[in-house]
Amino acid sequence: MKKRNTISNTTNALGKMKIFSICVALIFCSNISAQSIDKGAERSKPNIIFILADDLGYGDVGFNGQDKIKTPVLDKMATEGIVFNRHYAGSAVCGPSRASLMTGMHTGNSSVRENPKWTKSGQPVDLSLNDVTVAEELKRADYNTGIIGKWGLSENLNEGAPNLQGFDYFYGFNKHKSAHHYYPETIWENDKLITIEGNVTQDKIGTYSQDLFTDKALAFLDNQTSEKPFFLYLAYTIPHFELTIPEDQKAQYSNLNWPLRKMKMAHYRHDENGHVTYASMVSRLDKDVGRILNKLIEMGVDDNTLVVFTSDNGHEYDNLKDEFFDSNGIYRGKKRDLYEGGLRMPFVARWPNKIKPGSATNHVSAFWDFLPTACDIAGVKPTAKINGMSYLPALTNAENIQKNHDYLYWEFNEKRGPMQALLKDDWKLVHFVNKHYELYNLKNDPSELNEISSQHPDILKQLKAVLQIARTEHPEFPLIKKELKK
């Protein structure tokens, strides 16, 4: 039997298998009714653009209090749309967070619960043909679908590939390590690995990947017609390490006499001046969001397009012992923490005439809510069992009919892991497995500074019981201490 080890070797066979699986699921799922879509109604379905930053902290944007880094486009989005004050990532690192976003499952039930090498076997786990993604759900409503940027859910280059997960078009990185660099020498376009002429990764020469992604996103939008709605998942890599940006884009921060945080080159080909580079990268991200919004106006589809902006997990750059940007705001922790700084995300959404300008909500939502929200917008029901629930009512200022989660759950097993976290109402439980529990009341102590488990044994007992039922077992992701296998 021929070994399947590349996207091009598997696309046809796996695609047929997936189509068959979906057909069988639709036939036998008694709770899913047949969809009859009128062509006129089809054209009026809202477009959806989901823009994801990489390692951007809650406090890195102006609408959440940032005063050093300029984010005028995102701040204007906040005045024209809605800010979610309590929106949570799927995980404290990117791979499982993105899997949660795509499948509507939290890390206690998802097929991808850690980054590639943090598995029991040391082999990466990707999305499988059994997973049903938001793109596949939207295809049922006849959406054109595209993913541009960092996918990171097809390390094995087979059935996790975006074109086998509901996306009509893909341009970007299948693997995590490739996404670590901003001058890639190769990149995937659908199932072909193409060469980027003139790029030298080690020397940071050639075309900056942010330019590639934004240009491809604008081209994707140019290719849309009024016949079908579209879904674009624009997964930028800024401001993930490595910290680098063309020199001419540092002008607004270069002469501010900020203290030098000197960065060293190794695997990440950092520019030397960390503070200036980081701020410049975030502002560049902001500027490109503006290009996308302007394109929608130019196309005449602005009023019928929901644009969401958020980040995949907490920041990595700012030094918690000597904070300069206060990237986590008032919250404790950063990337790889299950405290609020690792999980609570900046979130802003804009949808003219649907979202009340300048509004905000404290509705508790998470990445696994995006799939049912997109389905709600498109007028279809999720085909698979999921953990998420639609936040469309909160988006559109109809919180009187918004359903709320009983709890949110996370698990994480890198370095200091295994860890679990549970959020129920105002109570937050952080469990260092086989070590200790920490209990916080976020209403009274949003910064998680006062551990109060001894003062509330009844609450501790209740939340510990929920932990026992919040997850299912997975052979590659047991909650036992793991060492990174190289």
Domain count for the chain, please give it.
2
> Among all chains, which residue has been given the structure tokens 């490739």?
178
In a domain, 65, yes or no: yes
Asked whether 64 and 58 are in contact (CB, 8 A), the reply is yes
- CA 172 → CA 179, 198, 208, 312, distances in Å? 8, 17, 13, 17
In a domain, 372, yes or no: yes
Show which of 358, 383, 406 is a domain's final residue: 406
In a domain, 270, yes or no: yes
Tens-of-pLDDT digits for all 486 residues of the chain? 323 334 444 444 444 444 444 443 433 333 333 333 333 344 579 999 999 999 999 999 999 999 999 999 999 999 999 999 999 999 999 999 999 999 999 999 999 999 999 999 999 999 999 999 999 999 999 999 999 999 999 999 999 999 999 999 999 999 999 999 999 999 999 999 999 999 999 999 999 999 999 999 999 999 998 889 999 999 999 999 999 999 999 999 999 999 999 999 999 999 999 999 999 999 999 999 999 999 999 999 999 999 999 999 999 999 999 999 999 999 999 999 999 999 999 999 999 999 999 999 999 999 999 999 999 999 999 999 999 999 999 999 999 999 999 999 999 999 889 999 999 999 999 999 999 999 999 999 999 999 999 999 999 999 999 999 999 999 999 999 987 765
In a domain, 242, yes or no: yes
In a domain, 437, yes or no: yes
The pTM for the full model equals: 0.91
Q: How far apart are CA 382 and CA 31, in angstroms?
A: 10
Whether 402 and 419 map to the same domain: the answer is: no
What residue numbers bound the domain in which 437 lies? 412-469
Residue 223 CB contacts under 8 Å (≥ 6 apart), including other chains: none
> Among all chains, which residue has been given the structure tokens 């043909």?
129
In a domain, 4, yes or no: no
Residues of the chain above pLDDT 90, percent: 89
Whether 363 and 443 map to the same domain: the answer is: no
Whether 308 and 418 map to the same domain: the answer is: no
Which pairing describes strands 186-189 and 427-432: parallel, antiparallel, or unpaired? unpaired
Whether 352 and 419 map to the same domain: the answer is: no
In a domain, 175, yes or no: yes
Read off the amino acid at residue 396.
Answer: T
Whether 398 and 427 map to the same domain: the answer is: no
In a domain, 177, yes or no: yes
DSSP secondary structure code for residue 281 in this structure = H
CATH of the domain at 431: 3.30.1120.10
Whether 430 and 387 map to the same domain: the answer is: no
Whether 126 and 271 map to the same domain: the answer is: yes
Whether 338 and 424 map to the same domain: the answer is: no
pLDDT digits (tens, 9 = 90+) for 295-340: 999 999 999 999 999 999 999 999 999 999 999 999 999 999 999 9
